[in-house]
Chains A and B, each alone.
Chain A
Amino acid sequence: MDLREKVGLLIDDMPSMRTTVRMQLASIGLEKCDQASTVKEAIDKLTAKHYDLIVCDYNLGKGTDGQQFLELVRRRHILPMTTAFLMITGETGYQQVSTAAEYSPDDYLLKPFTADTLGVRLSRIFDRKEALEPVYKHLGAKIDYTKALAACDEAIEVKSRYTLEVLRIKGDLLLAKGRATDALALYEGVLQERATPWAEVGKANALIAYGNPDEARSLLEQALVAYPNYLAAYDALADLLVKTDKFAAQQVVDQALHVASTTQRQRELGALALANKDYERAEGAFKIAVERDRTGFFKSHDDYAGLTRSYVEQDKIQDALAAVKDMSTHFQRTPELAARQAALESQVHVRAGDEKNAKAALAKAQAAQKSAKLDINTMLEIAQACFANGQPDDAKKIIQDVAENYQEDEKVLDSIRTVFEVAGLEDEGALLLDDTKKRMIRLNNEAVALAKSGELDKAIMMLVEAADRLPNNAQVAINAAQAVLARVQSIGADMTQIAQAHRYITQAIKANPLHPKLDAVVAFYRKLAPTGARPLEI
């Protein structure tokens, strides 16, 4: 393997270690190597330039580590799967890295190591990257599942030393696509040959998708007896339990935290403890989430919101106000931040009985809401503040909007339920969500009925209005595109309408790339679009 053509990025906060590893890399032929000493610097470099290889130390100082960094860049798709990632760790870091659930490095190397060992490991990683390039190249921000699965099947057909790795990727793709039966067959096939933790968890997830949560639960519990450090099993079990038994879910997350205390899991524990009214535990978890990371890179507004609520519920008014204020020193000052702070502050004042300041802060949050586009959690925080201030109509207006837009996103709907729960209006929340759902179904049904009775134009008008109003509702966008295409089919192609259909399909892909009805409408578009029409990028 010739490393001379490769470009590397070396990340370590210790200058002496950078020098040593840099020299080792040079001695095995990798001379083109940039360096970064902080997470921020590394992300800036990664965004600006393509690298073939990242060599990252586990310990990056200031409460940050290489595993957090890896998760961040993979989640944000800054680091393509075709780029190799090698983690360097001490013995303690090795346990954290090797048990990491969702994103793992291509390989890790325990200190101290020789240049020869480094060379052997890098060659191995690059060989694999090269062999699996046809698969990896499909696994970006936008995944074309059909192509990615076809690439997997081709790679499996060849049967190489990478077959297991490909099967693992294929299983993930099948699960993401909701193909539970195929995924189940794949994992059972693997497990017949060998016992391996990822296939156990994959099988459990397939069973959940298949509608068999009980068997999945016992499978995961058994897996954890054999593999008590396998974090993906805890995560899968917690995800499963959260729907039925939040106390049990909290226990599972707590156990996972004993294996590896990550910010993401502290956050999860905090949220569950809040839901379970275990405010002391919530306070502890959110405190760790906000205090550990001293760079501000890995924590979010939500962590401070959680901490504030934990304090408020325990009547620790001063601590709560301090937490809200603290956000200014850790995050960039954006309208988003100002709105979130104002909404939180307002709720603290309500609890303290300070009506005047509560109203003033709420007014500030509502003003921000009118002037800028805010994210869902900030919107819901403002709604929560409205409830607290005795303005339920304002709250419901905001929630209505979010619910219609994110009708198919269970996570968002769950957050909405929580807002109502905190406000003590659980039943009303269920009613509102139910009404919203029915209304969206009615809209779609009416449009279909109109189209069937020949009033296609009226149907299109209805759906287009809804799709423009609800940019994050994939179902509505798909129906709008479907209706427009139906007209194209009956009266012939018209470039304006083809472009309109293209726009709604793109909108749907953005809202939910995994929507089950997406494939059909994409095929319909491709069938009708004349040559020269914009192709669809999935």
Chain B
Amino acid sequence: MEILLAAAIHDAKNALNSLGVWLDKAQQECGGQSAALNQAKAVTATISGQLVELLALYRAGEGNLRMAVEDQHLEDFMGDLMAELSATRTADAADGATVQSIETDFAAAREIDAWAFDAYLVKFVLLDALRNALRHARHKIHFSIAAEPGGGIRFSIADDGAGYPDSILRAESTAKMTAESSGLGLSFARVIAERHATPAGRHGRVELANDGLGQGGARLSLILP
């Protein structure tokens, strides 16, 4: 099953990649920027990310999700992440308004220098969260990294949208989450956070709150031990 599922997801990802190549070509042919094609490209990136998440969740369930925990230079990591995001970014936010920019505060990245985690998986967690924020924000998104008191690092993504619905916030406090109530991205984020651990027994976690920007905007924090 693992092989079949992995192969199917692999094929689907390859198909999405070639779709991306065709979309690039189409954009060239219609002479530059097309909002519709940009949107289409963003959608392929989202699906591609979801496939990665799906496979990781399946593997985690089967007990063979493999993590590659290594020192990551945080400034480089943040740079790569933002480059990938802007390459596949949708133009529109909630209510059809345009999110002007993502405010970033990566000052702590330089200070912390490097941290050990699985860059590939954590990148997908953060990309998903950022895309989610882009969908729900009215105007602004704030993305920051900080040292976590007592050891660890904290990534925070806040927006000025309507905040998380109560059902999601409530579900967070109970130990068991169902995929339906949280969405794929959140389940994935929780699994990846939890799988990051230290020999001292500390684990990563995801925190959700409506204390983001504006009046009760959403904030997602990913804490890695």
Interface residues of A (CB under 8 A from B): 90-92, 94-95, 98-99, 110, 112, 116-117, 120, 124, 161, 163-164, 194-198, 200, 219, 222-223, 225-230, 259
Contacts and interface: CB of A to CB of B under 8 A. Distances in A.
Interface stretch (B32-40, B69-77, B186-194): B69-77
B199 A230 contact: no
Given A110-B120, A194-B115, A219-B199, A164 B66 contact: no
B85 interface: no
7 contacts: A98-B68, A116-B83, A164-B71, A195-B116, A195-B202, A219-B199, A230-B69
B104 interface: no
Interface string B57-80: 000000000111111010110011
A187 to B, nearest CB: 13
Contacts of A164: 71, 113-114
Q: Is the interface of B mostly helix, strand, loop or mixed?
A: mixed
Contacts of A91: 10
Given A94-B120, A163-B113, A195-B116, A200 B199 contact: yes
Interface residues of B, number: 28
Contacts, number: 68
B198 interface: yes
A197 B17 contact: no
Given A110-B120, A164-B71, A219-B199, A99 B115 contact: no
B197 A225 contact: yes
B68 A99 contact: yes
Contacts of B76: 124
Nearest to B9: A91
B17 A229 contact: no
Interface string B109-144: 000011110001000000000000000000000000
A1 to B, nearest CB: 14
Given A110-B120, A112-B17, A196 B73 contact: no
Counting chain A CB atoms within 10 Å of each CB, the highest count among B6, B73, B202, B225 belongs to B73
A229 B66 contact: yes
Contacts of B75: 161
Contacts of B70: 98, 197
B116 to A, nearest CB: 4
Pairs A-B, 7 closest by C-beta atoms? A98-B68, A195-B198, A196-B116, A222-B199, A226-B197, A226-B199, A95-B66
Given A94-B120, A110-B120, A194-B116, 18 more contacts: A90-B10, A98-B68, A99-B68, A120-B79, A120-B83, A161-B113, A164-B113, A164-B114, A194-B151, A195-B198, A195-B199, A195-B200, A223-B199, A225-B197, A226-B197, A228-B67, A229-B68, A229-B69
